[in-house]
Chains A and B, each alone.
Chain A
């Protein structure tokens, strides 16, 4: 591709609606792709924008009514670019002023528009690099902007400061994107990850769409990643070396955990209410008692409580299915939460595999239960650190990855689950979420609005698109970019961690990528050595 190819000139612009660019005659309208970057050379500043629409224009309406004989190459040559021309619609995203101060500040959000007839060029690799930055110790290469060779680098230190989301239809590459992002966080940020791995994709080995396998986190970073499992048997079968087997004790399950299972287990509101009452009467061991005591004994205990029989039966049926889960034991021997926390606080990332327990009920229960307890420990630690004003005592930032997020964060339960709290309270306690979901419209609006950075693969449901893009400036333009992403391996990222929205192709998750990871490690050590030597001679 030609660097800095001139495309045309600005013919109309409005800050709200974007910039219309008339293409020069030699530029083929078919080369203009939605999602491409352009620069506009204003008089005082450069504008950086994205192509969001492409259209055809004629100078005279009659041309469209009685079209010329385009088989005649002469007529076609004459009319192309003169009477008939292509136009592109550009949404300006950033400005870069010419003066020295502005160069230091970097790209700024756009607040004005370029003047008439400003030249519009295709953004060069250098331009992209200026905007998104180079790969360095904070930035991680997640792919290339569409149709470009430049590396798109994401500032992961910024990224983990807030909750983030990865969205896309099933089969569009969410899992790969998540893996890449997790690796990025592992390498470049101080944060530790806790991954609730519903389909056993991240820990040791993952599947590839269309056959084959992909290396999981532990294969790539054995020292930094621990795999926990709920299903020892399945892990053994899959030859995964696990670090710990998680068991959930019945006494660890609280009524709060039941309330988010309401719709999964078909519980009524009254049944959920009953759970709280039972807990109040029976204490910590309530679940065990409800499930295992004889009817008469229970009746004795519950004398005086106003629990409707129907609700109680309803609840008991639901609780029964929890009791039948293989990883649920009457009383857990080891403290799973403490174990996970120990790993996390040492800076080791934890992937919790669900093995064969892939039903949503088990996932909701475990993820919610563990996260709630981990979060409260984090909160305590954080408050202690704040009390003595000691930065070093603060726990490492923690990123919790959950799949099927709309089950946790739908408007009905978002208020009740711990994830709703984490998403809203954000990083106050150094805990944030990485939400993976295919139905973002199911996630509560409030939670969506609090997400820092969103990465989305192809979505084609109108409501999903709307909910992902809610509140983003230039929403309509981004919509056209989003709905035209390829069904695989293309994504749009926007929000806190990137200066402007960008459609990109994630790096291929293959042998080359694995090699680059270890390579990058070596490079950083040599860089470190060089830096140390420099320091020494200062």
Chain B
């Protein structure tokens, strides 16, 4: 059994589907999905939020429009409190590395995540620790993701840069790594860099 770190922050979701390269998790609260590109962890496995959706609990049953007589969107949920239980938010995370003992490694773990494993949102300390090297960029670029990988890579780096004091330096270093990885595909590189530019 993998041990759960006592200091970890609050769990936000639970794994409901897992493969070697990705896992999906249902969020405990409707709409409380971590932002695209966030670093999450289940057990020892690290993933990057690469997709999210909110759907009906039952695949065959579509929600119906309820707000015709309501003043605001919030009022829809207030007048039908069961809605929060009939809908669910899910995230898909691309596996980017795992903890091997004390060491963080940035390649695929030997086994996929466990179903019902709790998913935690990583805190700045852990993000800094993880993003000391950029090996995960290669995994992300090659992953088969529900969202265009340029978007995911850019979002991930933007998210990570917030955990670093000097976010520009971090982004330049990451950009250089990308430039090396995408040396024969300038257009992809350009797309990603365009999405990285600090405001």
Contact = CB atoms under 8 A, between A and B. Distances in A.
Interface of A: 25, 59-60, 62-63, 68, 72, 74-75, 77-79, 81-83
B176 A74 contact: no
A54 to B, nearest CB: 21
A59 B180 CA distance: 9
Contacts of B186: 59-60, 62-63, 83
Nearest to B189: A83
27 contacts: A59-B186, A60-B184, A60-B185, A60-B186, A62-B186, A68-B190, A68-B193, A72-B197, A74-B168, A74-B172, A74-B175, A74-B193, A74-B196, A74-B198, A75-B193, A77-B175, A78-B172, A78-B176, A78-B193, A81-B176, A82-B175, A82-B176, A82-B179, A82-B180, A82-B183, A83-B179, A83-B183
Contact of A78 (B179, B184, B185): B179
Contacts of A63: 186
B187 interface: yes
Contacts of A82: 175-176, 179-180, 183
Nearest to A84: B179
Contacts of A77: 172, 175
A60 to B, nearest CB: 4
Contact of B197 (A59, A62, A74, A83): A74
A59 B189 CA distance: 12
A60 B185 CA distance: 7
A78 to B, nearest CB: 3
Considering residues A62, A77, A82, which has the most beta carbons from chain B within 10 angstroms of its beta carbon? A82
Contacts of B193: 68, 74-75, 78
Contacts of A60: 183-186
Given A59-B184, A60-B183, A83-B183, A78 B175 contact: yes
Nearest to B180: A82
B171 interface: yes
Given A59-B179, A60-B185, 12 more contacts: A25-B176, A60-B184, A60-B186, A62-B186, A74-B198, A77-B175, A78-B175, A78-B178, A78-B193, A82-B175, A82-B183, A83-B189
A83 B190 CA distance: 11
Nearest to B174: A78
A74 B185 contact: no
Nearest to B186: A60
A64 to B, nearest CB: 9
Contacts of B168: 74
A75 B180 CA distance: 14
A25 B172 CA distance: 12
Contacts of B176: 25, 78, 81-82
Contacts of B178: 78
Contacts of A72: 197
Contacts of A62: 186-187
Nearest to B185: A60
Nearest to A72: B197
Contacts of B184: 59-60
Nearest to A64: B186
A77 B178 CA distance: 13
A204 B28 CA distance: 101
Nearest to A59: B183
A36 B190 CA distance: 36
Contacts of A79: 179
A475 B198 CA distance: 50
B191 to A, nearest CB: 11
A271 to B, nearest CB: 74
A60 B184 CA distance: 5
A104 B183 CA distance: 46
A74 B171 contact: yes
Nearest to A75: B193
A62 to B, nearest CB: 5
Contacts of B180: 82
A63 B184 CA distance: 10
A75 B179 contact: no
Contacts of B189: 83
Nearest to B197: A74
Nearest to A61: B186
A68 to B, nearest CB: 6
Contacts of B185: 60
B58 to A, nearest CB: 47
Interface in B126-185: 168, 171-172, 175-176, 178-180, 183-185
Contacts of A25: 176
Contacts of B187: 62
A74 B158 CA distance: 14
